[in-house]
Amino acid sequence: MIDLDLTARDKELIAEARAQALLARAHARDFEYAEDKFLPHEYPEAVGRPDVRELARRHVDETSGFKIINALLYLEDWYGGVPLREYPYSLGNTVLRIAGTPEQEARWKDQIIAIAMTEPGGGSDPASTRTTATWDAAAGEWVLNGDKIFITYAGTCDAAIVLAHAVHQDRKPGLSTFLVERGTPGFSISPQFRKMGIRHEDTAALSFVDCRLSEFHHIAGDLKKTLQSFSKSRPVVACYALGVSRAALDLAWETLAPHGILPEYDGDPLRQPAATARLMDLEADWEATYMSVLRAKWVEQNEGPGKIESSMAKALGGRLARRVTQTVVELIGPAALSEDILAEKWFRDGRIFDIYEGTGEIQRLLIARHILGYSPRDLN
Ligand SMILES: Cc1cc2nc3c(=O)[nH]c(=O)nc-3n(C[C@H](O)[C@H](O)[C@H](O)COP(=O)(O)OP(=O)(O)OC[C@H]3O[C@@H](n4cnc5c(N)ncnc54)[C@H](O)[C@@H]3O)c2cc1C
C-alpha cells in the first residue's frame, strides 16, 4: 500500500537542509547581474555542515528511499535561492544510465552530461528535430550538424547528449542520441543567455558543425525508453517549484503578520481577511502539489517511473509557482518589486518550472491522452 509518511531520518535531513538553505540566502542574489559566473562547488558557509545527500545515501534504509528524500532535498535547495553545495543533476546522466552500454556508462559516469534536445525550431515536439548525424562509411564515423538552444549546464558540462536524426546507409533512419565531449572539434558553446530568472543556472546554445564522433559515442539504446527519463526528472522540477513557492509563501506570512494577517487553518474562509483566505488557498495548492510529488516519487521508488504521476506533479508544480509568486507580489504590494526583499526574485524564478522539461501545456496534453485513452495521433 502506498505510504507517504516521512521517516524520522527524512525529517532530520530535511531540517538540516532547511538550515543550510537559510545560510545560502546570503548568496541568493549573487548571479543577478553576473550571469557569466558559475556556481561554486560549495559556498564557505557549507564548511563544517554535513553533506545531506551523502548522509541520505549512508542511512538510506532509514529514509523513505533515496529517490524520495533526494527530491525533497532539492526542494530545500530552491528554498535557499541558490544551493549552498552544488549537486549537479542533469538528465543527460540519466539518459546515459538508461540507454548507454555498460562500457559507455563506465567511461562517462562521473561527468556532468547536459541533455540537448531543444532546437531553434521548437522543443515540445522531438519529431521536429533538424540536427543530423550522418554515418561516414569511409571514415567509420558519425558527422553531427545542427544547433540546440536553451541548454542547461552548457557552460559547465563535460559533455552533452544530443538528440539527432541518425542517417546510416545500412540502418533504418530515425531519432537517436549521441554523446559529444567538450573540446570535440566542431562543437561550440555560445555565451550564457541573459534570463528573466534562475540566473544561477547556466544556460547557453550549442552548435555542431561537421562534428565527428566514433560509434562508441552513439548512445543507441531504445529511444522511447530514453525519453522516459523525463518521468524521473519531472517530479524533481516540481520540487524546485515547491521550494520557490514555500519561500514566497513564508515571506508573505512574515511580511503580513504585523498587519494581523495570520494563517488560520480552521477558519471560515468567508470570515477571514481576504489576504488570509488567498494565502490559505495557496497553502492548500502547495500541499496538493507536495502530495503529488511524493506520490510520483513513491511510485518510481517502488514500481518504476510513472509517466502520468510525474506529469501530474510537474503540471501542478509549474502552475503552483506561477500562482503563488504572482499572488505574493500582489499581497505584499509595491515593496515586493524592490530588490530589498526576495519576492520579485521568486516571481522571476518561478516562471521556468512551467517551461523546461516539458511545458505545462504538454503535461496536460499527456494527462488528457491518458485519461481519455487517446493516442498522440488522436490528440496532439
Ligand atoms: C532556462 C531554460 C533551460 C532549458 N534547459 C534545457 C535543456 O537543458 N535541454 C533541452 O533540451 N531544453 C532545455 N530547455 C528548453 C525547454 O525544454 C523548451 O523551451 C520547452 O520544451 C518548450 O519548447 P520551445 O521553447 O521550443 O517551445 P514550443 O515547443 O515551440 O512551444 C511554444 C508554446 O506552444 C505550446 N505548445 C507546443 N506544442 C503544443 C501542443 N501540442 N499543444 C498545446 N500547446 C503546445 C508550448 O507549451 C509553448 O507554450 C530549457 C529552456 C529554458 C528556458
List per-residue pLDDT tens for the chain, 380 residues long: 888 999 999 999 999 999 999 999 999 999 999 989 999 999 999 999 999 999 999 999 999 999 999 999 999 999 999 999 998 778 999 999 999 999 999 999 999 999 999 999 888 999 899 999 999 999 999 999 999 999 999 999 999 999 999 999 998 889 999 999 999 999 999 999 999 999 999 999 999 999 999 999 999 988 888 888 899 999 999 999 999 999 999 999 999 999 999 999 888 888 999 999 999 999 999 999 999 999 999 999 999 999 999 999 999 999 999 999 999 999 999 999 999 999 999 999 999 999 999 999 999 999 999 999 999 999 98
Going by C-alpha positions, the residue among 124, 172, 171, 175 that lies closest to residue 146 is 175
Superfamily of domain 227-372: Butyryl-CoA Dehydrogenase, subunit A, domain 3 (1.20.140.10)
Looking up cell 488557498, which residue turns up? Answer: 281
Determine the distance separating the centroid of ligand 1 and the alpha carbon of 374, expressed in angstroms.
22
Going by C-alpha positions, the residue among 168, 296, 148, 147 that lies closest to residue 231 is 296
> Which stretch of DSSP H or E encloses residue 281?
helix 274-303
Considering the chain, tell me which residue range(s) the CATH 1.20.140.10 domain(s) occupy.
227-372
- Quick one: cell of 66? 533515496
Considering the chain, tell me which residue range(s) the CATH 2.40.110.10 domain(s) occupy.
101-220
Enumerate long-range contacts of 36-40, CB under 8 Å, 24 or more apart. 36/191, 36/192, 38/155, 38/156, 38/202, 39/82, 39/83, 39/86, 39/200, 39/202, 40/86
- pLDDT by residue (tens digit) across 229-287? 899 999 999 999 999 999 999 999 999 999 999 999 888 888 999 999 999 999 999 99
pLDDT at 87: 86
- Judged by DSSP in three states, 62 sits in helix
Query: In 10 A of CB 252, how many CB atoms?
Result: 26
Establish whether residue 362 lines the binding site of ligand 1, counting it when its CB lies within 6 angstroms of any ligand atom: yes
Determine the distance separating the centroid of ligand 1 and the alpha carbon of 311, expressed in angstroms.
15
Question: Residue 30 pairs with which residues in a beta bridge?
Answer: none
pLDDT at 121: 83
| Gap between the Cα atoms of 223 and 163, Å rounded | 10
What is the DSSP annotation of 100-148?
S-HHHHHHHTTS-EEEE--BTTBSS-GGG---EEEEETTTTEEEEEEEE
Establish whether residue 227 lines the binding site of ligand 1, counting it when its CB lies within 6 angstroms of any ligand atom: no
Establish whether residue 120 lines the binding site of ligand 1, counting it when its CB lies within 6 angstroms of any ligand atom: no
Establish whether residue 359 lines the binding site of ligand 1, counting it when its CB lies within 6 angstroms of any ligand atom: yes
pLDDT at 148: 98
Determine the distance separating the centroid of ligand 1 and the alpha carbon of 266, expressed in angstroms.
41
pTM for the full model?
A: 0.97
Establish whether residue 269 lines the binding site of ligand 1, counting it when its CB lies within 6 angstroms of any ligand atom: no
Establish whether residue 131 lines the binding site of ligand 1, counting it when its CB lies within 6 angstroms of any ligand atom: no
pLDDT at 353: 98
Superfamily of domain 101-220: Butyryl-CoA Dehydrogenase, subunit A, domain 2 (2.40.110.10)
